[in-house]
Amino acid sequence: MIQLSRLTPRRQAAVLSFLRWTAVLVVGFVLLVVGYYLYVNVLNRAPAEVYVSQRGTAIAAVYGTVTINPVTSLPLFAQNTGYLHTTEGLGNVTSANGLPVKEGQLLGTVVDEIGQRILRQAQQDYDAAIARQKNGPPSAGPLRSAEDSLRAMDKLPPGNVPQVTRDAARNAVNQLTAGVANETLELRHVVDAAANNLKAAQDQQGRTEIKAPFNGVLTFIAFGNGAYVLPNQLVYTVASTEINVTGQVNEEDVGQLQAGMKADMRLYAYGSTTFPATLVQIFPAPEASSSRYTVILQLDKPPADIRFGLTGEMNIITGRKENALTIPARALFNVDQVLIVDDGVVAQRPVKVGFKSLEFAEVIDGIRDGTSVIVSDQESFQPGQRVRPVKINDVKQKTR
């Protein structure tokens, strides 16, 4: 042990300087070792999102895909040949989604020049027939003159007018009376015929108008303004504002389903948000193209901005099990495999899966309580790899 008091001041300064540098080197070495340890064992490890398995409610469910559809959708076709004149407000658009319409609202007119000419001519003919009927039969004027002449003769003494003249006057009145009756009947026939022709032309013209059949939304416009269309061509589609959910389930699962079952639904447009729904109908036969069965559901609380055509997936709840060991369903890959993290090292484990829903799966065998399972990007990790686990157990199970 060096006693500084016995050294000269110069030697004391040298010894103190040596001790200071030695302490700096020791501290630097320690920091270097600690930094290397942290880098190798913490900072240099890839982060892995893990969920620590725990007990909870396991849900059995039938999986299926879903599409949002209107309860009623009606195609509207052209009934004649002509040029489409869309109603003001629709513009020249060739497609529409959600444009509101009212029952009886005119959507467009297929203009038929020949039909319009026929309608104009029929209207003119009807107006002319009415005018002639109002003017009366052509023989009405001569009849009045003949009646006035006969009355004048009847007022004279019998000897003043020969009987032959009186008889001739009376015959003339009778003939004119019959003529007026015939002409009146003919005028009525002409008016009736003109009215029938006008009605036929108006009916034909009415078929050129395409109107909304009920209150709803316009979901499709096939042609823009001025397009030439033919009879039976689809022009518009109008849908009701009420929606239902059309689902598809596999043949092996349909036997588990009953109307009234609850379901959890996830629409891709709304991310991870889950919507509750109720199963209301199961179609009795599968689709020929896919052998999948169609089911109808109703959203319990549909979002206000929901749109037709949205797609997603669903779980129709068929059973529950309490105090089950559960992990997020996304932790599974290859159906029955999970990656666990044990003391910072990745390992692959086969598991036996029980109940399963969109969010969580029951694990019957393969892992125990408290096991950390990787829940994302499993393809990025290999067994034996050292990782830095990041716990994400803030995911909450939904229990109805």
**Paired tokens of 131:** 């005018």
Mean pLDDT value of segment 149-162: 81
The residue among 56, 34, 53 whose CA lies nearest residue 43 is 34
pLDDT 10s digits, 26-41: 777 777 766 656 555 5
Q: Quick check: 197 and 126 in contact, CB under 8 A?
A: yes
- The CATH classification number of 47-58+321-391 equals 2.40.420.20
Q: What is the DSSP string of 60-71?
A: EEEEEEEEEEES
CA dist list (Å): 228 to 79, 204, 205, 256: 13, 18, 17, 52
pLDDT-derived band of residue 308, with 50, 70 and 90 as boundaries?
confident
- The contacts of residue 24 (CB under 8 Å, 6+ apart) are none
pLDDT on residue 265: 93
Give the pairing of strands 209-211 and 106-111. Answer: antiparallel
CA distance 281 to 301: 18
Confidence class for position 209, pLDDT limits 50, 70, 90: confident
Higher model confidence: residue 123 or residue 304?
Answer: 123
Query: What predicted TM-score, i.e. pTM, was given to this entire model?
Result: 0.56
Q: How high is the pLDDT of residue 7? A: 62
Q: Are 71 and 100 in contact (CB under 8 A)?
A: no
Place of tokens 């052509």: 138
Per-residue pLDDT at 367: 94
Domain 73-109+209-240 has CATH 2.40.50.100: yes
> Phi-psi category of 260—alpha, beta or left, where left has phi over 0 and alpha has psi -120 to 50?
left
- The pLDDT mean for the chain works out to 86
The answer to whether 235 touches 78, Cβ cutoff 8 Å, is yes
**What is the structure's pLDDT at 400?**
38
For residues 152 and 232, the model is more confident at 232
For residue 275, the SS3 value is strand
Pick the CATH number of 63-70+241-319 from 2.40.30.170, 3.40.640.10, 2.40.160.60, 3.40.50.150: 2.40.30.170
As a whole number of angstroms, the distance between CA 378 and CA 340 comes to 10
Rounded-to-10 torsion of CA 71, 77, 79, 82: 150
Which amino acid appears at position 12 of this protein?
Q
Tokens of 359: 């969010």
Closest CA to 338 of 59, 50, 42: 50
pLDDT of residue 46: 85
Rounded-to-integer distance, Cα 260 and Cα 318, Å: 11
Bridge partners of 327, per DSSP, are: 361
CB-facing half-sphere around the CA of 61: CA atoms within 13 A: 25
- Tens of pLDDT, residue by residue over 160-206, are 878 888 888 889 889 989 988 898 999 999 999 999 999 988 877 77
List CB contacts of 193: < 8 A, sequence separation 6 or more: 129
Check whether 398 has a pLDDT greater than 50.
Answer: no
By C-alpha distance, which of 208, 197, 297, 214 is closest to 249?
297
- What does residue 335 show for φ and ψ, rounded to 5 degrees? 75, -50
Q: What is the pLDDT of residue 42?
A: 55
Confidence tier at 12 by pLDDT (50, 70, 90): low
Residue 249, pLDDT score: 95
Please return the burial class of 216, using the count of CB atoms within 10 Å of its CB with bins 0-12, 13-18 and 19+.
buried
Listed range (5-14, 105-114, 128-137, 180-189) with the worst mean pLDDT: 5-14
Question: CA dist 192 to 28, 128, 167, 198, 247, Å?
Answer: 116, 12, 38, 10, 58
Query: Are the beta carbons of 69 and 246 closer than 8 angstroms?
Result: yes
pLDDT recorded at residue 115: 78
What are the boundaries of each domain within the chain?
47-58+321-391, 63-70+241-319, 73-109+209-240, 113-207
